[in-house]
Amino acid sequence: MRILIVEDEPTLGQQLKTTLEQTGYAVDLSVDGEDGHFMGSTEEYDAVILDLGLPEIDGLTVLGMWRKEGKTFPVLVLTARDSWSDKVAGLDAGADDYLAKPFQTEELIARLRALIRRSTGNATSELIAGKVRLDTRSGRVTLDGEPVKLTAQEYKLLSYLMHHKGKVVSRTELIEHIYDQDFDRDSNTIEVFVTRIRKKLGADVITTIRGLGYSLDDPADAPRG
């Protein structure tokens, strides 16, 4: 899962970036509205954290531009002001949630998790596909109830696939969503990690669709449509 943070205060921004990366997200950080808008328009994000009090361009303006462009990623708005009218304005401008500063980092993470879960159409924080379970809260993965140790990248890859269960995900899409910008797209790392995940969870977990990408299917919601 890849996140964009648009925050003009360098300390807070960098701190958020670090925390989120430790949580298992790929994070890009932008420090002003113009650059932030550009990033959000050109790159693929699963969620955006947007500070309203930006220099140059106002956060709400940026948000409005994205929505006009048809961008649908969920946006979590940060506001220093504690007036509910601002919140209402933010929500109506297309924000999906907001958080007033100062806030607990845990709460930010929980809200982010909920946003991504919701935007990918999942009802709970525990993703299940056959014998494999992935708890987005604890970041744990189990196979037949047995805990499985995954590395950071393996987890990111699996998590993205499980969030998009049943969908055919191209290699490019995977690269765009588990790495932050500046990554060699002509590389076979995705294949390598798919191999490693299969070794740990079984070969049948991830299906290859030749020429298109990969797909993670749940035997439970198979046929019988």
Partner DNA sequence: CCTCGACGATCAGGATACGCATGCATGTTC
Partner DNA sequence: GAACATGCATGCGTATCCTGATCGTCGAGG
Q: Which spans of this chain sit near DNA (rule: CB under 7 A)?
A: 149, 151-154, 171, 179, 184, 187-189, 191-195, 198, 203, 208, 210-213
The distance of closest approach from Cβ of residue 136 to a second copy in the complex, given in angstroms and rounded to an integer, is 8
For residue 20 the two structure tokens come to 């989120």
Cβ(112)–Cβ(76) below 8 Å: yes
Residue number with CB closer to DNA (210 or 224): 210
Residue number with CB closer to a second copy (29 or 96): 96
The distance of closest approach from Cβ of residue 213 to DNA in the complex, given in angstroms and rounded to an integer, is 7
Please count the residues of this chain forming the interface with a second copy, following the rule CB under 8 A: 57
Cis peptide before 219 (omega within 30 of 0): no
Q: Does 113 bind a second copy (CB under 8 A)?
A: yes
End-to-end CA distance of the chain: 29
Interface with a second copy (CB under 8 A), residue from 18, 166, 192, 199: 166
Q: Does 163 bind a second copy (CB under 8 A)?
A: no
Q: Does 19 bind a second copy (CB under 8 A)?
A: no
Interface with a second copy (CB under 8 A), residue from 11, 42, 82, 146: 146
The distance of closest approach from Cβ of residue 187 to DNA in the complex, given in angstroms and rounded to an integer, is 3
Report 173-202 residues binding a second copy (CB under 8 A).
Answer: none
Taking CB under 8 A as the rule, which mask of x and - marks residues 41-70 in contact with a second copy? --------------------------x--x
Q: Does 102 bind a second copy (CB under 8 A)?
A: no
| Dihedral-angle region of residue 109 (phi above 0 means left; psi in -120 to 50 means alpha; beta otherwise) | alpha
The distance of closest approach from Cβ of residue 180 to DNA in the complex, given in angstroms and rounded to an integer, is 10
Residue number with CB closer to DNA (122 or 142): 142
What does 55 interact with, of a second copy, DNA, none (CB < 5 to 8 A by kind)? none
Interface with a second copy (CB under 8 A), residue from 18, 139, 172, 185: 139
Full DSSP string of the chain: -EEEEE-S-HHHHHHHHHHHHHHT-EEEEE-SHHHHHHHHHHS--SEEEEESS-SSS-HHHHHHHHHHTT----EEEEES---HHHHHHHHHTT-SEEEESS--HHHHHHHHHHHHHHHTT-SSSEEEETTEEEETTTTEEEETTEEE---HHHHHHHHHHHHTTTSEE-HHHHHHHHS-SS--SS--HHHHHHHHHHHHH-TTSEEEETTTEEEE--GGG-S--
